Amino acid sequence: MSLVINFEFPKFKETYLHRVGRAGRYGRKGVGINLVSTAEAANLVEVEKYYSTKIEEMPTDLAEVEKDLN
């Protein structure tokens, strides 16, 4: 699977990793898209801190995302 879309951002950091970990398995690249409400923003920050990562805002040019997958 090359794309995972979270229509609701997970409440638990372990759930986030489980979901987005499905994208890009077996040495392939993958993309996770998160639709995050204002109420879920704290969960996103918690995931970033826990996994020492930065979840970037989706680029306006989705063709760039497609290029990265190929």
Question: What tens digit of pLDDT does each residue of 33-60 get?
Answer: 899 999 999 999 999 999 999 998 887 7
Task: Note whether 7 and 35 are within 8 A (CB).
Answer: yes
> Does residue 67 fall inside a structural domain?
no
> Does residue 66 fall inside a structural domain?
no
Confidence (pTM): 0.72
- Cross-strand pairs, 31: 3
Question: Angle at the Cα of 59 (from 64 to 45), degrees rounded to 5?
Answer: 130
The confidence score (pLDDT) of residue 41 equals 93
Number of domains in the chain: 1
> Does residue 28 fall inside a structural domain?
yes
Instruction: Find, among 15, 17, 16, 20, the residue nearest to 2 by Cα.
Output: 20
